[in-house]
Amino acid sequence: MLQVYLVRHGETEFNTDGRIQGCSDSPLTIQGKNQINSVAERVRSEGITHVISSDLGRTKQTAEIIANICRCELSFDSRLRELRMGELEGCKIDSLTKEQESWRRHMVDGTVDARVPGGGESMAELASRMRSALDSCHNLPPGSRPLLVSHGIALSCLINTLLGLPAHSERRLRLRNGSLSRVDYQQSLWLADGWIVESTGDVAHFSPISGH
């Protein structure tokens, strides 16, 4: 059985400022670094062999912390990037125009084939590249236990599709900064063959003070 851990990047300055990130970037806050130190300590004893990360800055920072603590190989994969949000990237959510807010809502409310103008990406396109990145874990050496570092919308879209939901499904899965999920590839008498979702959005590694 192949077990793959999934981690959302730590809190960023854009997160605290209420700005839309997409494929633009913002560094981790002190809180964000603390979150990732916590999740890294959580998975340290799980035998992680590879950390594979989105190549955006906030996920790179996250992955470097985890790989250093787990003492494992680190690589980057652009397929794990966040949903491209076009003209909305860098905008504060509470400052959007009515039209811009409708673009944003359509990305999370189940609208089919929604995309933000100015280079935005559809959820179907996001799901395709995220699934491709996950499936690439089969190419790792036998016995590998990889950990993928990605983003909130990207990971929730991936998990939704593994559960058999359309990529554009309403977004109802909460994945906090620094949360831990796991998916397994297996054959089971009582589950469909292939990828199954073992756990999602686990933040048990956060203390009441450092939690988010």
Query: Known catalytic residues?
Result: 9, 82
In the numeric block, which tokens belong to residue 165?
């939901």
Number of domains present in the structure of the chain: 1
What domain range is 70 assigned to? 2-202
Radius of gyration of the chain (CA): 17
In the numeric block, which tokens belong to residue 30?
């002190």
**Mean pLDDT of all residues in the chain?**
96
Q: What is the pLDDT of residues 15-72, one digit of tens each?
A: 999 999 999 989 999 999 999 999 999 999 999 999 999 999 999 999 999 999 999 9
CATH number at residue 74: 3.40.50.1240
- pLDDT at position 208 is 65
In a domain? residue 170: yes
CB 90 within 8 A of CB 19: yes
In a domain? residue 207: no
Cα distance between residue 47 and residue 177, in whole Å: 22
In a domain? residue 211: no
In a domain? residue 212: no
In a domain? residue 128: yes
Binding residues for substrate: 8-15, 58
Q: What is the pLDDT of residues 89-106, one digit of tens each?
A: 999 999 999 999 999 999
Task: Record the pTM.
Answer: 0.95
Looking at the predicted structure, is the pLDDT value of residue 6 above 50?
A: yes
Binding residues: 8-15, 58
In a domain? residue 24: yes
CA contacts within 13 A on the Cβ side of 39: 33
In a domain? residue 94: yes
In a domain? residue 208: no
